[in-house]
Chains A and B, each alone.
Chain A
Amino acid sequence: MATWVLLVLTCVPAAFAQSGPVQKNWPMASGNYENSRYSALDQITSDNVKNLRVAWTFGTGVNRGHEEAPVVVGSTMYLVTPYPNFLYALDLSQSGAIKWKFEPKPLAAAQGEACCDYVNRGVAVADGRVFMNTLDGRTIALDADSGKLLWDRRLCDINVGETMTMAPLVIGDKVLVGNAGSQFGARGWIQALDAKSGTTAWKAFSTGSDADCLIGPSFKPYYAQDRGHDLGISTWPIDQWKIGGGTVWGWVSYDPDLDLLFYGTGDPASWNADVRPGDNKWCSGIFARRPSTGEAVWFYQYTAHDLYGHDGINESIVTDIELKPGEGKRKVLLHADRNGHLYVLDRQSGEVLSATPFVRVTATTGVDLKTGYLQFVADKKPQLGKTVRDIAPAAPGGKDWQPSAFSPRTGLMYLPHQTLSMDFEEAPVNYIAGTPYIGAHAKFYADPVDPGDGSRGRFTAWDPAAQKAAWTIKERFPVWCGTVVTAGDVVFYGTMDRWFKAVDAKTGRELWKFQVDSGIVSQPITYLAPDGKQYVAVVAGVGGWPGKIVSNDLKPEDPGSAHGFGNAMKDLPNYTAKGGTLYVFCLQ
């Protein structure tokens, strides 16, 4: 019996040869600087993926929303949990035996300041150091080998609603980190810390003066409305920018050739937009900056004067693609925004090359490519004391933080996302530092028209050149999980009703699935272990904004729970309970 178990758990060597140099590791949450989540590993293919089996598992000891990506360098996997942000180093040569564990002990009170469950999206490893963020707003560096503390810096004040949930990115000797807390009126920033000492090399705010936003002579935005003096102040009513949000809680990507980093800014605070007439710069947009100095090179605002909490923080994938046959490849960014449009941007200039709806959109009529402005529908403008119905996409957008992938082999972008509409009513808003700064009552529900069958999630393969979906898979719940695509033409993603799936990257055909212990809202990865075999890893543990109904035991009777998301997720407790388990798979 024992031998039999061993046999099952041991993976057979792959019969496929590797072609060319491939990246074995997964050193940052997004896999690579491009944020493509594409892996050149090709042992697991669309033909053999049906033979995937569990190699080992690991219980994280935490029962809240696990949105993190495991990170792998050499023979070690680094896994950070939601609050209390345990960091485990697991030995890949010993089926995940614990090498060391680090407990940063964040302030317990920080749990009250995390809008959307107290998640963490992963760590970054570079030059023998691990960098992690904690919920109470510290960035910590540890020796990757021993787990010894190198430095620990507090960057946030929870009493103004600041927390940290994003995954750091390391460029050269700098660690890039940003804050969260737009829903508390926290003023957004990104900063570069010196990797050795943790001291701040530069810090750029998302609102306020040009000096605060590191906007100087090199700033050359493409559209006219982004040129001018101190727009981070003048596009707001007096002093509103100080509590204006624009936090940097999402993804940072980097193009080493252009030496530009790209990141999105969060929504302007509060959700009641009547208190902040103006474009509310530099919220709900994207900055391109120089990593060495932080100086801004260009900016584009996806949603000027954001009315619906549509952040701009979603990932921007760096890639070169041919948009029109014969025109040659262009240096672009691919970005599926919360506002429901899929943007192709010129990453040198910030020009919008195309912006196409990828879900049903009722709130706007598209982007005017001459001015760059998103066109709002007057009827859907929120009002005080009146409920405006069927605003699509709802506040979490056509797609939220859950990161997409891009395969150079298929030329397709893989979008995990949701199809939700909402009813929205503005309410008087009162700023009290450290408490939610919302001023709106919302209720989300399955989009009544597209798809119109009660399903709330989708996994879509998008052709950015043709500006249309190649194929799409409906899911019962929002697909709140990232994805990874491989050179074996397999795409992996997880669902909130506890399935981990592999589908054919070309056709979307389901190839394999496995039922895990709790809903998946994390980021799957793939890597080559010391034994020379390709593994796929994903963490199960439901939570996050849509999963809070389970992870924080919310009451389905209240349509306003989880800022309105509770209403769309009433049936989630019938499909999953809380959990926190890492699953690692390989071919049998």
Chain B
Amino acid sequence: MLACLYGLTLAGCKREERDFHGDAASADTTASVQLTELVPGLPPSIEPSASAAGPVRADFEKVAFHLSEGQRLYEQFNCVGCHANGGGDIGPPLMDDVWLYGASPEQIYASLAQGRPNGMPAYGRKLSRQQTWQLVAYVRSMSGLTPKDAAPARNDFTQSVPPPNSTPATNPVSGPNPSPTAEHGSR
């Protein structure tokens, strides 16, 4: 019983951990591998900058602060315009179990930083590493892949899906590429 309580307290502490000193908006090596011509908010002439790769911050998703920051960034960086509240729009749904480019935190990090060929912009030079990990955590919470105790309990807008902490957990599977002619890729 005591051990159980102790465990809960520990988990609770982790959940409230905050990291206010994330790195500045610049990129790491993953971002220099760019898979798309779409670079949001920057003129296309600027080449991606390379710097040391950041640590794998999968542990971000155990922290409520990072998850709610991710939720805010998801709206502010216009992810919502292309993926809706996870149900998909221009881009594929993010609330389901199908992943084109992988569901692990590292794979999602790469999707965000590098962009993906069929229309996912490369955010590597727009988002800091911290912001990117926060977004990764929030994206995973949309399909129930993050701990329930840390996932956001409410959404910021009325027209939405049930909040991530009541999203049933899914079993990620890799899906087909939706493009009819993936062989073209980018030029």
- For residue B93, CB closer than 8 A to chain A, the reply is yes
Is the CB–CB distance between A443 and B159 below 8 Å? yes
* A552-B38 in contact (CB<8A): no
Given A554-B93, A555-B95, A564-B159, does the pair A432, B180 have CB atoms closer than 8 Å? no
Per-residue A-contact encoding for B79-91, CB less than 8 Å = 1, 0 else: 0111011111111
By a CB distance below 8 angstroms, the chain B residues around A113 are 38, 90, 119
Q: A109-B119, A112-B90 are in contact. Are A558 and B85 (CB under 8 A)?
A: yes
In the assembled complex, the Cα of A107 lies from the Cα of B121 at a distance in Å of: 13
- A563: chain B residues within 8 A (beta carbon): 84, 89
Interface of B is mostly: loop
Chain A residues positioned under 8 Å from B92 (CB to CB): 552-553
- Chain A proximity mask over B153-187: 1 for CB below 8 Å, otherwise 0: 00001111100000000000000001111001111
Which 7 residue pairs of A and B lie closest in terms of their CB atoms, listed nearest first? Answer: A112-B119, A558-B87, A436-B81, A561-B87, A435-B78, A555-B87, A111-B119
Tell whether, in the assembled complex, residue A434 and residue B119 are in contact, meaning their CB atoms are under 8 Å apart.
no
Interchain residue pairs with CB less than 8 A apart (29): A62-B180, A84-B180, A107-B37, A108-B179, A108-B186, A109-B118, A111-B179, A112-B90, A158-B38, A159-B40, A425-B157, A427-B157, A432-B77, A435-B81, A553-B98, A555-B88, A555-B93, A557-B87, A558-B93, A558-B95, A559-B159, A559-B161, A560-B80, A560-B84, A560-B85, A560-B87, A561-B85, A561-B87, A564-B159
Interface residues of A in 425-451 (CB under 8 A from B): 425, 427-428, 430, 432-438, 441-443
Other contacts beyond A111-B90, A111-B118, A435-B78: 10, CB < 8 A: A62-B180, A105-B184, A107-B187, A109-B37, A159-B43, A423-B158, A425-B157, A430-B77, A553-B92, A560-B159
CA distance A113 to B40 in the complex (A): 11
Chain B residues positioned under 8 Å from A157 (CB to CB)? 44
Docked Cα-Cα span, A566 to B86, in Å, equals: 12
List, in ascending order, chain B residues with CB within 8 A of A564's CB. 159
Contacting pair B180 A558 (CB below 8 A): no
Q: How many whole Å from A318's CB to the nearest CB in chain B?
A: 35
B58 to chain A, nearest CB (A): 25
Q: Does B32 contact A (CB under 8 A)?
A: no
Q: Is A387's CB within 8 Å of the partner chain B?
A: yes
Counting CB contacts under 8 A, is A342 at the interface?
no
How close is B88's CB to chain A, nearest CB, in angstroms? 4
- Tell whether, in the assembled complex, residue B89 and residue A553 are in contact, meaning their CB atoms are under 8 Å apart: no
* Nearest chain B CB to A573 CB, angstrom units: 13
A558 touches B88 (CB 8 A): yes
Q: Does B113 contact A (CB under 8 A)?
A: no
Interface membership of A359, Cβ < 8 A: no
A side interface size, CB within 8 A: 52
Most buried by A among B37, B82, B117, B118: B37
Q: How far is the CB of B71 from chain A (nearest CB, A)?
A: 13
Majority SS at the chain A contact face: loop
List chain B residues, Cβ under 8 A from A240: none
Q: Is B36 an interface position by the 8 A CB rule?
A: yes
Instruction: State whether A548 touches B89 (Cβ < 8 A).
Output: yes
Asked if A557 contacts B157 (CB within 8 A), the reply is no
Tell me the residues in window 104-127 of chain B with beta carbons closer than 8 Å to chain A beta carbons: 115, 117-121, 126
Is A69 an interface position by the 8 A CB rule? Answer: no
Q: Are B78 and A555 in contact (CB under 8 A)?
A: no
The answer to whether A128 has its CB under 8 Å from any CB of chain B is no
A553:B158 contact, CB within 8 angstroms: no
* B residues less than 8 Å from A548 (CB atoms): 89
- State whether the Cβ of A21 lies closer than 8 Å to any Cβ in chain B: no
A435 near B121 (CB under 8 angstroms)?
Answer: yes
Instruction: Report yes or no: B78 in contact with A436, Cβ–Cβ below 8 A.
Output: yes
Chain A residues lying within 8 Å of B85, measured Cβ to Cβ, are 558, 560-561
What residues of chain A lie closer than 8 Å to B158, measured between beta carbons? 387, 423, 425, 441
CB of A545, distance to nearest CB on chain B (Å): 10
Q: How far is the CA of A275 from the CA of B157 in the complex (A)?
A: 19
Q: Which of A356-404 contact B (CB under 8 A)?
A: 387
Report the minimum CB–CB distance from B22 to chain A (whole Å).
Answer: 19
Q: Find the residue from B117, B158, B159 having the highest chain A CB count within 10 A.
A: B159
Residues of B within 8 A of A560 (CB): 80, 84-85, 87, 159-161
CB pair A114–B90 under 8 Å, yes or no, is yes
List residues of chain B with CB within 8 A of the CB of A552.
88-90, 92, 178
Q: How far is the CA of A443 from the CA of B159 in the complex (A)?
A: 7
Residues of the A chain whose Cβ atoms lie less than 8 Å from the Cβ of B95:
555, 557-558
Residues 209-261 (chain A) with a chain B CB within 8 angstroms: none
Question: Closest chain B residue to A443 by CB distance?
Answer: B159
Cβ–Cβ contact A112 & B181, under 8 A: no
Question: Are A434 and B90 in touch, CB under 8 angstroms?
Answer: no
Indicate if the CB atoms of B76 and A112 lie closer than 8 Å: no
Closest-CB distance, A435 to chain B (whole angstroms): 4
Interface residues of B in 51-85 (CB under 8 A from A): 75-78, 80-82, 84-85
Contact for B41 among A427, A428, A432, CB less than 8 A: A432
> In the complex, what residues of B have CB within 8 A of residue A427's CB?
75, 157
Which B residues touch A158, using CB under 8 A?
37-38
* Assembly CA distance A435 to B92 (angstroms): 15
CB-CB under 8 A from B180, the residues of chain A are: 61-64, 83-84
Closest B residue, CB atoms, query A60: B180
- A437, B40: Cα distance in complex, Å: 12
In the bound complex, do residue A558 and residue B82 qualify as a contact, i.e. CB atoms below 8 Å apart? no
Question: A84 and B184: CB pair below 8 A?
Answer: yes
Nearest residue in B to A545 (C-beta to C-beta)? B89
Give the docked Cα–Cα distance between A111 and B37 (Å).
11
Q: Which residues of B contact A183 (CB under 8 A)?
A: 81
CB distance from A86 to the nearest CB of B (A): 9
Closest A residue to B90 by beta carbon equals A112
Q: Does B2 contact A (CB under 8 A)?
A: no
Given A158-B38, A548-B89, A112 contacting B121 (CB threshold 8 A): yes
| Cβ-based interface call for A71 (8 A) | no
